[in-house]
Chains A and B, each alone.
Chain A
Amino acid sequence: MAAPLTPSSEAELAETVAGATGPLRIAGGDTRRIGAVQAESVLSLSGLSGITLYEPGALTLVARAGTPLAEIEATLAAQHQWLAFEPMDHRALQGSAGTPTIGGVCAANIAGPRRVQVGAARDFMLGVRFVDGAGRVIRNGGRVMKNVTGYDLVKLLAGCHGTLGVLTEVALKVLPEVETSATLTLAGLGDADAVAAMASALGSPFEITGAAHDPGAGLTRLRVEGFAASVAYRAGRLAERLARFGRAEVETDAAANAAIWTAIRDVAAFAGRRGDVWRLSVKATQAPDLVARAAARGAVYDWGGGLVWLLTEEGADLRARLGHFAGHATLVRASAETRAQVPTFHPEPAPLARISAGLRAKFDPRGILNPGLMG
């Protein structure tokens, strides 16, 4: 394979795409090689890097798409701010190297455990610049908190995995870091009870920012964050509310909390274990039943059960096993052969598939951006 194309400016990237004679695989940090992209050439965003604007008082940061996530996180941390949607780091799970970039995070609409409270990347993306499949430079949104001027293509680009356009710059809403966090842990709950406990917590006024369950370890975790006094109060009230599920241990040490939630965020339970990894977005209360049907090697629940990670034997078509359910399943890790056979993304009902294909034909008329990834 030829060396990656590494344009060093948006204009150059636009030229590269316009002049491309064949399909391109778009690489941010190249930490998530999902799907079966059929492309000889790699288009790397590594040459488009750097924070172009950061206004802590306006909670806004603008960065070129190839900017390493770590650089953004360090810059924010210096001002006690952060990306509240807690983007996961895929490297351990994928067994990949590379440097996660902000463009990759946005193009895949990544989110971590805090999604239940604050949302995903899409909910923090204020504006984008991108190059579509014809090499046109397009701008949408802006850098202000509220913006309904014209269609929200920002959302469409978030989660399009590069198939509608190559992000060149993103504007993000950032938030102040929280002062403290506490984790309540319930031990020994079955999946159904764990989901019920998480639903009870999430339905309380105590502002849960993480609700996860690891059946393997038999631990159900709930996180509260904020000012110290408030965290102590809410953790206490929550423990009372959940008394019928057992006695909750409360962890308040900052480093211990960070370790617990980083492991959940990055699905550490499956890192280094053999098998395919699936990610299910489901109705939380239906999750235990689906997990039972999946007959998987391992399962991890996040988002109160709305997100389920499954470790299955290699080559399994999980979707066939589950049958129809409300939600969808994404194949996140598998061998190249499996990825060539089993679609990465859940097949859409025909009317939606038609719309998606229609949009792709408009934004990428030659079908050269990550072809084969989303259909």
Chain B
Amino acid sequence: MQMPAPSQKVIGAKARIVARLRAALPEGAVIHELAETRAYECDALTAYRCPPLCAVLPASTEEVAAALRICHEEGVPVVPRGAGTSLAGGALPTADSVVLGVARLNRVLETDYDNRFVRVQAGRTNLSVTGAVEANGFFYAPDPSSQLACAIAGNIAMNSGGAHCLKYGVTTNNLLGVTMVLMDGSVIEIGGAYMDAGGLDLLGVICGSEGQLGVVTEATLRILPRPEGARPVLMGFDSNEVAGACVSDIIKAGVLPVAIEFMDRPCIEATEAFAHAGYPMCEALLIVEVEGSPAEIDHQLGLILDIARRHDPVELREARDADEAARIWLGRKSAFGAMGQINDYMCLDGTIPVSALPTVLRRIGEMSQSYGLAVGNVFHAGDGNMHPLILYDANKPGDLEKCEAFGAEVLRLCVEVGGCLTGEHGVGIEKRDLMGVQYDPADLDAQMAVKDVFDPGWLLNAAKVFPLASSQARRAG
């Protein structure tokens, strides 16, 4: 993975740039000593690190605008940052960049239950958005596993999803409006407390633009009334194929579960050893959750269990109470952590048509053999969003490269069967150089043309998303 050479001119002007930022921002909002900038050297893709020139932590839209104006004038690249949980290196700095962290922008600005929205500052964490409305019986639906830590700003930039998006959609389906500061310091507002923003769907293209179009400082989010209840069921099968077919049948049947999660044997074994959730030892396991009143849940689970029985499950386990429900989810929720106990891992995020699940899982198994690297699969099966976790040893020379090659081959396979490189984690630097697998040069050019409009100087997070060769001319100019 390559990053463009940092601008020596900018690095040489560090003292002046820092002084200007300090003059414009409150005490303590500019971090420039190397010992401290290290805190911003990477996100959750820890294989790549680089301390920035400095980091700024503004606490208002006006302060964000002031900081950007200075960076714009000085020609300094800016890397927006939420909580730094990106798995794609979306918040990785370069040595000549200013990291603009929005963590101090964390207030709730307005809650409105009649119109069912909440307006928050974008640095607020995902879970604490729900925290702000749950006493009134509402919640914010997109629930990435990282929701305790990740910020709404990062969710918007990555168009993040979660386990429950099968029913509720991802960030873009729940975003009503944003306040955003452009690279030149101008502030724009799009949408608001109504269902569709007028004009072109700018909100739609901003969501998922990975911090390349502007810095989001506020967001209006749709909130939903909490369902009366929810209950998961766990099913074990003796092959991935059968589990995959069961998923497809459930979806076809007209039941709309809120979640269908899938784990394969390596993952089951690892989580059992780590979290002791009491999972059955089998080849593949599904967790299916439905919502509603107790009677509605019984009815839907009845239909789902009937379908499951037709696929000869080795285990069917209904949660009888909240405790059992929590145990069913326990293993799934600790899966990443469990795999991390065994080894370093790389988490892929390709999406495939649900019908291709069995083929793709088999091919991944074969690749695992030929690369000699173990892989566990845990993912959102209802929408085909896979998360193969490839285990490697960071201390073993060549292992990371081998793992990356394996990962790239899996992602190529995802595209080959009609899917895509990333379903929810984003491209960042991680999948940047694979973009050509999914898109032709003209397709990428059309996307880059959008950035040309929002950030003509290509200063915002410019070395991400697009293969460096294809963005070269723009970044230079």
Interface of A toward B, CB cutoff 8 Å: 55-60, 80, 109, 115-116, 119-120, 122-123, 132, 136-140, 142-156, 158-160, 164, 175-179, 196, 199, 202-205, 226-227, 229-230, 233-234, 237, 281-285, 303, 306-307, 326-328, 330, 345-346, 348-349, 351-352, 355-356, 358-359, 362-363, 374
Cα distance A120–B159 when bound, in Å?
17
Check A362–B449 contact: CB distance below 8 A. yes
Look across to chain A and name the residue whose beta carbon is closest to the beta carbon of B204: A155
- Which residues on A sit within 8 Å (CB–CB) of B425? 148
A-B contact pairs, 12 of them (CB 8 A): A140-B443, A144-B353, A146-B170, A148-B424, A149-B438, A153-B205, A159-B196, A230-B292, A230-B296, A283-B194, A351-B186, A359-B200
Q: Does B384 contact A (CB under 8 A)?
A: yes
Shortest distance in angstroms between B204's beta carbon and chain A's nearest beta carbon? 2
Contacting residue for B248 out of A57, A132, A233, A328, CB 8 A: A57
Q: Which of chain A's residues have a CB closer than 8 A to the CB of B225?
A: 202-205
**A130 smallest CB distance to B (angstroms):** 9
> Which residues does B use to contact A, with CB under 8 Å?
112-116, 137-138, 158-159, 161, 165, 169-170, 172-173, 186-190, 192-205, 207-209, 225-228, 248-249, 251-254, 256, 292-293, 295-296, 299-300, 351-355, 380, 382-385, 418-427, 431, 435, 438-440, 442-444, 446-447, 449-454, 465-466
Which residues of A are found within 8 Å of B419, using beta-carbon distances? 142, 144
Does B204 lie within 8 Å of A326, measured CB to CB? no
**In the bound complex, what is the Cα–Cα distance between A137 and B254 (angstroms)?**
36
Most B CB contacts (10 A, CB to CB) among A203, A226, A234 go to: A203
Given contacts A155-B204, A205-B227, A362-B453, contact A233 B424 (CB under 8 A): no
Residue contact B198 to A345, C-beta cutoff 8 Å = yes
CB-based closest 7 A-B pairs: A155-B204, A328-B198, A176-B254, A145-B383, A146-B423, A358-B453, A362-B449
User: In the complex, are the beta carbons of A284 and B115 less than 8 A apart?
Assistant: yes
User: Quick check: A205 and B226 within 8 Å, CB to CB?
Assistant: yes
Beyond the given A109-B196, A146-B384, please list 20 additional residue pairs across the A-B interface where CB-CB is below 8 A: A59-B251, A119-B173, A120-B196, A123-B172, A138-B446, A144-B352, A146-B351, A147-B423, A149-B421, A152-B159, A153-B450, A176-B251, A196-B114, A199-B115, A205-B227, A230-B293, A230-B295, A328-B198, A359-B449, A374-B199
Chain A residues with CB under 8 A of B169: 119, 123
The complex places the Cα of A302 from the Cα of B73 at a distance, in Å, of 48
> Is B418's CB under 8 angstroms from A143's CB?
yes
Complex CA distance for A119 and B203, rounded to whole angstroms: 15
Q: Which residues of A contact B440 (CB under 8 A)?
A: 139
Residue of A nearest to B247 (CB): A57
Q: Which residues of chain B are within 8 angstroms of A351 by Cβ–Cβ distance?
A: 186-188
From known contacts A146-B170, A146-B351, infer whether A355 and B439 are also in contact, taking CB-CB under 8 Å: no
Given A58-B353, A139-B440, A326:B192 Cβ within 8 A: yes
Known: A119-B173, A352-B190. A143 touches B205 (CB 8 A): no
Q: Which residues of B contact A196 (CB under 8 A)?
A: 114
Cα separation A146 to B165 with both chains bound (whole Å): 9
Provide the bound-state CA to CA distance between A207 and B189, in Å. 30
How long is the Cα–Cα vector from A348 to B1 in the complex, in angstroms?
Answer: 42
- The answer on a CB contact under 8 Å between A151 and B353 is no
Whether the pair B418, A142 counts as a contact (CB closer than 8 A) is yes
Give B285 Cβ to nearest chain A Cβ, in Å.
Answer: 21
Q: Is the CB of A159 within 8 A of B201?
A: yes
Neighbouring B residues of A179 by C-beta, 8 Å: 254
Q: Tell which of B186, B196, B355 has the most Cβ of chain A within 10 Å.
A: B196
**Distance, CA A202 to CA B225, complexed state (A):** 8
CB pair A281 B439 closer than 8 Å: no
Q: Are A152 and B296 in contact (CB under 8 A)?
A: no
Contact among B187, B201, B427, B447 with A122 in the assembled complex (CB-CB below 8 Å): B201
Contact across chains for A156 and B296 when beta carbons are under 8 A apart: no
B352 with A359: CB separation less than 8 A: no
User: Is there an interface contact between A348 and B450, defined as CB atoms closer than 8 Å?
Assistant: no
In the complex, the answer to whether B446 meets A359 with C-beta atoms within 8 Å is: no
Residue in contact with B300 in the complex, picked from A55, A122, A227, A374, CB distance below 8 Å: A227
* A176 CB, nearest partner CB in chain B, Å: 3
Chain B proximity of A58: nearest CB distance (Å): 5
* B454: chain A residues within 8 A (beta carbon): 355
Choose from B204, B253, B380 the contact partner of A152 (Cβ within 8 Å).
B204
Residues A55 and B446 in contact in the complex (CB < 8 Å), given A148-B423, A230-B296, A306-B194: no
Contact between A281 and B198, CB atoms less than 8 A apart: yes
Q: Which A residues are CB-close (under 8 A) to B384? A: 58, 144-146
Nearest to A285 among chain B residues (CB) is B114
Give the residues in chain A near B383, CB-CB below 8 Å.
144-146
Residue of A at shortest CB range from B382?
A145
Q: Which residues of A contact B172 (CB under 8 A)?
A: 123, 152, 155
